[in-house]
Amino acid sequence: MAAVSRPAPAPAAPAAPAARGRAPGRFEVERLRSDFPLLATTARGRPLVYLDNAATSQKPRQVLEATDRYYREQNANVHRGVYGLSELATELYEGVRAKAARFLHARESREIVLVRGATDGINLVAASWGRANLKPGDEVLVSAMEHHSNIVPWQLVCEERGARLRVIPMDRTGALLLDEAEQLITERTGIVAIVHVSNSLGTINDITKLIQCARARGVPVLVDGAQAAPHLPIDVQALDCDFYVVSAHKMFGPTGVGLLYAKAALLEAMPPYQGGGDMIRSVTFEKTTFAPIPAKFEAGTPNIAGVVGFGAALDYVAALPWDQIAAHEADLLAYANATLAAIPGVTLIGTAPRKASVVSFVLDGVHAHDVGTIVDQEGICIRTGHHCTQPVMDFFGIPATARASFAFYNTREEVDALAAAVHQVRKLFS
C-alpha cells in the first residue's frame, strides 16, 4: 500500500490519539490500543482478539466521551430552537458535516448528506437519482464483488424502471477485469456503482481508471467506500466520482451514521428521498416546497449523538500517523497471508495484487462456521459466512469463508493466536 496522508486535524479537535506527538517513525500500537477500552477486555477467559474490523471497528474513548458528553451537556434538537442549547447542538451537528467534507475532500459541506450508513446512502441514490433518471432498457453496472447493499437497491429500482443490472467480471485472484469494464460502459449505461475496497476479498479496486472511463462517456459513478474509509485516503475531487458513501461504524465511529457525498448539482436536481420535518421550506395541504441541499435529504430528527460521536472519530482518524499505519497494516496483511497459508489445508480466497488488510480463507473439509465457533473459544472474533457477498462465494464455488480483517490496532501476536486456533480446528477434524 502506498504511503498515505490524511487531512490535518480540525483546529478544535478535542482529544488526539495517544500516539500523537511521539517520535516519528516508530508505530506505537500499544499506545493506540489503550485508546480502545474494549480491546482490553477478555473473551472466553482470554484476552480478546478482535479481527472482525470489516464488519465493524471498535471505538476509541474519544468517541465514547463525545457521545456521552453530548447527552449529558449538549442535547437539544437541531435546526429548530432559538435557544442557546439548540444552537449549540446545531453547531456541533453542522460542524461534523464540515469535518466530513474535509475528510472526503469535498468542495463544500452541502455536498455531504448525513445518513444512517453506507447502505442508507446507496438506497438514497438508487431511489432518488435512480427513479428520476433510469429509463427502460438502461443498465446499471456493478462489479462481481459488490456487497449486497450495492446490488439489492439497484435491483429494486431496475425492476421498477425496466432497467437491468450488468456485472463487471473479476479474475480468480479477485481482481476486476477493468478492460472488460470499459467495454461494458455504453450508451445504455445509466450509472456505474462500484466498491472501492471489497469487504470479503480485500481487493482495492483501481476506481480512478474506471471513473475516468465512465465520466468520459457521461455516465455518473457511485463508489461504495465503506471498507476504504478506515484504510485509505479518500479525495472525491481527485477521483471525480459523483457519489461516495461511507459508514461511521467501520471507521471507529458509532453505528447508525454515515455519509453520502454527492456533487452539488446532482443533489440539487434529485427529488427528495423521504419526506418529513427539516427537509421542507414550506408546507400547505396543497403544496410543499423543499429545503435546499443537503437538508432536502435529511427528513426527521437525525441521529445527533451518533453524528457528534462520528465527529470525534473523524478528529481521531485525522490525527493518526497514517504513513506508519499504512506500513503496519501492510505488514499485518503480509504476515497473516504467510502464516495462514502455511497451515496445511488452508486456501486464501482473494489474492489480488492490491489489497487492504483483509484475509479470507477456507480450510479443507471444514465449513467456515465450524472454524468460527472453534476459534471463538480462544477469544478470537473472526467473521464466517458469505459476508453479504453471496455472488463472490458462488464465483469461487464455496459456501462461505472465514475472514480476519485487521485495523491499525491489531498485532502480529493476534495473527499468531488465530493461526494457533486454526491448527486446533484441523486437529479436531483430522
Whole-angstrom distance, CA of residue 98 vs CA of residue 108: 8
**Rounded Cα distance, 384 and 401, in Å:** 6
Q: Which residue has the cell 482518524?
A: 317
- Binding to other proteins, residues 72-101 (CB under 8 A): none
Residue ranges in 2-61 that form contacts with other proteins under rule CB under 8 A: 44
Cell, residue 72: 449529558
* Member of 393, 402, 418, 419 binding other proteins (CB under 8 A): 393
Q: Which of 407, 410, 361 is nearest to 384 (CA)?
A: 361
Residues 395-414 that bind other proteins (CB under 8 A): 397-400
Give min distance, CB of 155 to other proteins, in A.
Answer: 17
Rank residues 166 and 367 by Cβ distance to other proteins and give the closer one: 367
- Count how many residues are written for the chain: 430
Half-sphere exposure of 157 (CA within 13 A, CB side): 25
Cα(37)–Cα(225) distance, integer angstroms: 26
The Cα–Cα gap between 250 and 155 comes to 25
Can you tell me which residue has the cell 458513501? 245
CB of 66 to other proteins, least distance (A): 32
Tell me the residue type at 11.
P
Distance CA 47, CA 36 (A): 14
Is residue 319 near other proteins by the rule CB under 8 A?
no
Catalytic member of 158, 213, 241, 388:
388
Decide if residue 423 touches other proteins (CB under 8 A): no
Q: Rounded to an integer, what distance in angstroms lies between the CA atom of residue 407 and that of residue 33? A: 11
Asked if 69 interacts with other proteins (CB under 8 A), we say: no
By rule CB under 8 A, what count of residues binds other proteins? 21
Minimum Å distance from CB 233 to other proteins? 35
Among residues 213, 251, 267, 368, the one that binds other proteins under rule CB under 8 A = 368
Give the residue with the Cβ less far from other proteins, 74 or 424: 424
Which residue's CB is nearer to other proteins, number 63 or number 144?
144
Select from 109, 155, 390, 411 the one that contacts other proteins (CB under 8 A): 390
3-class state of residue 7 by DSSP: coil
Specify the DSSP class assigned to residue 291: P
Q: For this structure, is 388 an active site residue?
A: yes
Of 11-19, 216-224, 369-377, 409-417, the segment contacting other proteins by CB under 8 A is: 369-377
In sequence order, the β-bridge partners of residue 194 are 223
State yes or no: residue 199 binds other proteins (CB under 8 A): no
- Residues designated as active site: 388
Which residues of this protein are in contact with other proteins, per CB under 8 A? Answer: 44, 366-370, 373-374, 377, 384-386, 390, 393, 397-400, 424, 428-429
